[in-house]
Each structure stands twice: as structure tokens, then as C-alpha cells.
Amino acid sequence: MRGILNKDDAQLVFVDTPGLHKATTALGERVNATALESMRDVDIVCLLIDATQTFGTGDKWVSEQLNIKNAIVVINKIDAVSPAKLLAQLSAISSLGAAEYFPVSAKTGEGVDQLVAELVKRAPLGQAMYPPEMTSETPQAQWVAELVREQLLAVTRDELPYSIATRVTEWEWPRVRCEIVVERESQKGMVIGKSGSVLKSVGIEVRKQMPEGAFLELFVVVDKDWQHRADRVERLGY
């Protein structure tokens, strides 16, 4: 997924890769391969770390997969932690040996201007890749599917990060049908919520970000052990 930021003196194209992790499934292997392949074609690598989560061996493992000495470490969600905790996090994270560290809050915008300025400074000279009015090259259907997954993980508090897939199966504007795929019946109950509360909450938040008049339908289906089966992983677009 690519996002485009147009400045007076620069155009930055952000490539949002899947999260690197120690893979134990066919999906995990595909996700890692996609992330590493995406990074081969970029000029600057940013490692995003959540300030609210304890820095540990998993973060160190991810950094070892990168050329961390030339990378920028971005510590997000600094608005959600105390100054003391942030200081402790920064102290631990500094052991990675990255080129630069930028504490930011995507929610409040704190630190974002400084990060963007550093990215512009590092960016190579060249022609703009996209017209100035363009902010994303992601197809609308994929964008909606990602919105649904993002909101669902926020509501379920990341309990099912790699057990959930989303895909738009019908797009007849303004009607959009999106399937949420899980591996177990028990997960289906978690996704739907009591009396449909989780799906309702997700639908409300996603519709807020869609064009006015959109009619979004959400359905939950069970595809047993889909992330362990290469054919299912490919069918779901990974």
C-alpha cells in the first residue's frame, strides 16, 4: 500500500509493508517475503515501534532483518504514555544503533513535521512519480478492506492479528460487501460481538472514512486454518 505526501519542494511516497515477525505459518512466510521485497525498492527504511508496547526481543529481531544503521526508527503513540515511560522506552530503543530516532504521535501530529523534514533531506533528487493531487495508489476496494481490518483489530485489541483477513467481494457503488475471514467458530463470535456489537462498531467507524452515501455490508466467514494453507493465503490476496 502506498501513500503520497506532496510538499512544495518534494514528493514522498510511503510504502506500508506488512509487519515482519517470526513466521510459523504459510501466511507468515508470505507476509515476511512481501515486506522484505518491498524494502529492496525504497530509498529510506523507517522502523515503526509502538511506544505503548514493551520494547523486547521481537523488536530486536526485526531490526536484525534490516540495514538498521541506515534506518530511521519512528516511535509512535507518544501521546499515550507518560514522559517517564517514554524516556525509558527511548533508552531501550537506542540500543538498536539506528541512524536516527523520532518520537511522534500520528494522532496529535507531535514530532511529525521533524520526521518529514528528515525524510525530505534524505530523499534523492528526481522527478515526481505522481501528480500533485494524488494521495494514494491503492485501489478503492483494497483500501476499504484494509480499513475494515484496521478497525476490527482496534476493537478486538489485537487479539487476532494474523487470524483475520478481509476482502471486498462486491463493489456496486454505493453498495460495498466486505468479508471478514477467520479460522475458528470461536473467532467468529469474537468478531461479531454480543448482539453484533463489534461488527456494528467497526461498520460505523469505517463508514465515517468512506464517501458519503456508501452502504457497507460486513459478513464473517470461517475458513479453517486458512493462514496455514498456501492456496488460501494466495486466494485472499497475500
Residue 57 lies in a domain: yes
Residue 127 lies in a domain: no
Instruction: Report how far residue 4's alpha carbon sits from residue 220's, in angstroms, rounded to the nearest whole number.
Output: 32
Do 16 and 81 fall within a single domain?
Answer: yes
Do 117 and 81 fall within a single domain?
Answer: yes
Do 91 and 146 fall within a single domain?
Answer: no
- The pLDDT value recorded for residue 130 is 86
Domain count, the chain: 2
Assessment of whether the complete model's pTM goes beyond 0.75: no
How far are the Cα atoms of 111, 129, 151, 236 from residue 23, in angstroms, in the given order?
33, 34, 24, 18
Q: Domain range holding 160?
A: 140-235
More confident: 34 or 204:
204
- 204: CB partners within 8 A, 6+ apart: none
- The pLDDT value recorded for residue 92 is 92
- 88: CB partners within 8 A, 6+ apart: none
96-138, pLDDT tens digit by residue?
999 999 999 999 999 999 999 999 999 999 998 888 887 877 7
Do 146 and 72 fall within a single domain?
Answer: no
